[in-house]
Chains A and B, each alone.
Chain A
């Protein structure tokens, strides 16, 4: 099946860059990352690619292939026709470091804002008892390999950098949902999901779920149920009235780290 594929690969750095054309050999069963590696080994030794496990488990080789956000290691060449020119560009939402490698530190900063797992301090290690049916949902979210393709795709930040402060993005709203649904977690993150992490900005277009290489149903299973929980907490008239009277946040709502 060997053939030469036409590749247009974005080369450059934060300052400037352009698409460069290459012809690279392709063999049976290969994925895009194999072809990029061959390009690196034979024609462009300094081509910057971020990758690691090459098995779809670490989420490092996120990029945009013919405009679609994908993992290069899980995108088989056979999904393209041999005549097709492949345009390979870095994730658009994040600043470019070099070539196909972007600065994803935004995501690590957001991760640090989410109040961590808060078990009941009286439960000692070894004493946790949870039923499988109760952990199925958090386990689905914990399949996340942090490839940040959902963050890259979500139009709330992809097309609106002004939302970056207010919006944690699908990955981290899902992290909030994961902790919220963890049977052993005691904190209540419903208010801060809305107020501090921008859950309200999500208008459930499901783009995040579409690009998730782990096929996690981010919108259906994390974001929408989270919105429902927020409604129950923030907009319930009785709760609202109670808040008005006491004029303070609920005791079990944790502080958002880094916020005054």
Chain B
């Protein structure tokens, strides 16, 4: 068997060729490491191209009052203070440098009048902060990084005579297993095993360091903005290698996905529509978001349409429109309106920019949205409103990593971008993903390079591990009789959508876990017809295993967390609890493809970071015990605040 496996040797193997993977690979290569980039798709097609709105970085080009402290505060608020604060700090501090660096690589951002990088408004960001290129910022980012990889290869061709001597892209290649070396309990990364999609040939990448940059898990849900690649591969590979997943219950439903026609249900409608002036209305024509501003955000959001409309031109003297609340709030509000019978004809609400901006400006600022609605739904967004509703968009949960280096708990394993956890807490702000990819892409690439440099001996791959990995991968092809992977995938998506979706209940999640258990048994018996060359049925059969274990993590963690926070809303526990804020939920692999869950206390935030917030704001999230000793804190102040908070609590409930 092993004779049919191509063996390749690298210092660093990056799995995933989106923004974070490419940035990590570039950094590893710049640090002298021989680097492989593995991509499930062609080079330059990764999911990053779908990011529309922009990349958040407190450059202060549009509003000079912006700085990293403000960005940090917004990020923590957006994540409801469950974020790994060190990641949020590094992210806010380093994002501007990473954006400027991208420009130096050739990215062509939209400009301000004085020729700097323009920045746009977005949900949850206090100032205009998103560097952007119309509504196709992700494409610009991936193309710029792709072209940097090419530039490095051109330099290597001159210096070493081979463009692929130091950095090579393996397109349409899937990794199915990480290979470990060492005694039980002290294992470290030794390589990655997978197959080339075009031929089905197996390949082993021998490498002491692997960076997971595989993105998210959206394909476990039916209504999603994610592409086929988003099958939770990195999450599952990390689990099986012995690493831990953090807070998997937090799944972001983007408030505005297309709802019609059915074939494009879930397709993303960028938040820039709202950032640039678009408003949400129900079937009665009402701007309903004013009814859903939760207590914790009330001081920052307008109470009348007049004030909200003035804000676009005068942000110093007016508060933000409630359409620009963080995504979790807007998604729940839309859901509540539809449930109350005030939805649009196809079960969403109306998002209107046609009555808010001149047609010419819409075409300039939102060209892809215009194109998308015109071509796929026969809707001209310069003339009529769009119909939109929540769609599964992003998973905040992911591999638990060291904030500074991206290192997971298994030596040699790193994770970055959507597959990593912690940075975004319970809810990610729009625009913070692209910046996350760049900031932690660089850090994890560096982390991996330094890990390799410090190694005394390279790990070895055992023949037994290889034989086992190859046998597992071949099973679906060798089974003559068995269910179709497509059918199981469809059932999985329905279970997750209906039972572990936007609004969750204990009874439904328990049902989901029972159903997932049955599905896992059936998935182990699927059969893929055909041969090994470019066979999507076989590929899906292998991806199913990953999706099922990830779905199990989401469902278990969601059942465990008895509160509502960010991307996790419990019908039976509608309030946010300061006690639960102190808890991270950690998933690890257990026997036979199952998952075990445990609670882990969070690390308290550094005092100087805590002091960036008003004490009255912290009190809405934290227990008195956590705040004792902070300047400005007194027990009497706590007593003063408590009644008003209690009286405002129902407003939050109305939004559920």
Contact = CB atoms under 8 A, between A and B. Distances in A.
A253 interface: no
Interface stretch (A138-146, A154-162, A240-248): A138-146
A74 to B, nearest CB: 6
Given A60-B45, A112-B150, A130-B111, A53 B106 contact: no
B114 A125 contact: no
A85 interface: no
Contact of B537 (A31, A46, A145, A182): A46
A57 to B, nearest CB: 5
A31 B104 contact: no
A76 interface: yes
A204 interface: no
Interface string B579-604: 00000000000000000000000000
Interface stretch (A93-101, A191-199, A220-228): A93-101
Interface string A47-69: 11111111111111000000000
B150 A41 contact: no
Interface residues of B, number: 70
A102 to B, nearest CB: 10
Interface string A120-140: 000111101111100100110
Contacts of A42: 486
Interface in A79-99: 97-99
Nearest to A54: B227
A29 interface: yes
A99 B198 CA distance: 11
A45 B536 contact: yes
B42 A50 contact: yes
Contacts of B118: 132
A184 to B, nearest CB: 8
A145 B114 CA distance: 29
A258 B371 CA distance: 39
Contacts of A47: 536
Contacts of A257: 154, 157-158, 163
A132 B45 CA distance: 27
A140 to B, nearest CB: 10
A30 interface: yes
Contacts of B485: 45
B47 A53 contact: yes
Interface residues of A, number: 61
A40 interface: yes
A186 interface: no
Contact of A125 (B100, B147, B375): B100
Nearest to B172: A50
Nearest to A60: B45
Interface stretch (B243-251, B262-270, B347-355): B262-270
A97 B196 CA distance: 12
Contacts of B533: 13, 48, 97-98
A45 B539 CA distance: 11
Given A45-B528, A142-B133, A56 B372 contact: yes
B167 to A, nearest CB: 12
B338 interface: no
Contacts of A49: 536
A46 B153 CA distance: 35
Contacts of A119: 104, 106
B268 to A, nearest CB: 7
Contacts of A40: 486, 536-537
Interface of A: 13, 27-31, 34, 40-42, 45-60, 74, 76, 97-99, 101, 103-104, 108, 111-112, 115-117, 119, 123-126, 128-132, 135, 138-139, 142-143, 145-146, 182, 215, 257-258
Considering the complex of A and B, which 5 residue pairs feature the smallest CB-CB distances, nearest first? A29-B261, A46-B530, A45-B537, A129-B115, A117-B106
Given A48-B535, A57-B139, A129-B116, 19 more contacts: A13-B533, A29-B260, A31-B376, A41-B487, A45-B486, A46-B530, A50-B42, A53-B45, A56-B372, A60-B42, A112-B163, A119-B104, A125-B104, A128-B115, A129-B115, A131-B115, A132-B110, A135-B110, A258-B157
